[in-house]
Structure formats: structure tokens, C-alpha cells
């Protein structure tokens, strides 16, 4: 028996706006990032949970690598909704320092 790879939840949204539900559903249950990492997507009822597949449980990508993957995924979903299409998400991420700077863990 072959077991599926372990999953690491990386994003949960409890309030997905209705206009984003169809683009998220269109992704299917898995998505492969340009990095080659695969993510599982569980969505329904206005909620979404995105989990990283971990073929090697001893390897966990850095938070920055996961964030970059999630930004690419968010941009893909955003582009599918005409009212939100464009590069505003990436521009906001750059302006607020969410993109292009190393992730820093909270002290303590």
C-alpha cells in the first residue's frame, strides 16, 4: 500500500469571497508551483485550506519559499476575477515588504 505524502497546512481562509470560489475550484485539488512544490487545495462553503505535500518529511521549505509559491497562486486566482485582475497584489506585497525581504520570525 502506498501512502500519500504528508501534508503541511500553509494557508487557511475562512471567508473566501464568492467571486473567488470558481477560480479556486478551477485549480482542482492539487496545484504545482513554478518551484516544483505541490500543494493540495481543499475548498468549499466559502473556505479554503492549502497544504504543502511533503514527499520527504524531513525537508521543509523556508517560509520565504512557501510565501513566494502562495503569492504566485494568489496572483493566478486574482487574474481570473476581472474586477481584481492586474498586478496590484504583487505591487502591494513589494510596497509593504511582504515580498523580496527575508521572512523574520517573531522574537521569543
User: What is the DSSP secondary-structure string of 77-103?
Assistant: HHHTSGGG-SSHHHHHHHHTTSSSS--
pTM assigned to the model: 0.78
List pLDDT tens digits, range 26-73.
999 999 999 999 999 999 999 999 999 998 888 889 988 998 899 889
List pLDDT tens digits, range 9-28.
999 999 999 988 999 999 99
In angstroms, the CA 76 to CA 62 distance is 22
The full set of domain ranges for the chain reads 7-95
Amino acid at each position: 500500500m502506498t501512502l500519500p505524502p504528508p501534508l503541511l497546512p500553509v494557508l487557511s481562509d475562512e471567508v473566501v469571497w464568492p467571486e473567488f470560489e470558481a477560480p479556486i475550484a478551477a485549480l482542482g485539488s492539487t496545484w504545482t508551483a513554478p518551484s516544483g512544490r505541490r500543494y493540495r487545495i481543499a475548498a468549499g462553503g466559502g473556505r479554503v485550506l492549502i497544504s504543502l505535500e511533503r514527499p520527504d518529511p524531513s525537508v521543509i521549505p523556508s517560509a520565504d519559499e512557501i510565501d513566494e509559491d502562495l503569492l504566485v497562486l494568489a496572483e493566478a486566482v486574482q487574474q481570473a476575477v476581472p474586477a481584481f485582475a492586474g498586478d496590484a497584489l504583487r505591487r502591494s506585497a513589494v510596497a509593504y515588504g511582504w515580498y523580496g525581504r527575508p521572512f523574520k520570525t517573531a522574537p521569543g
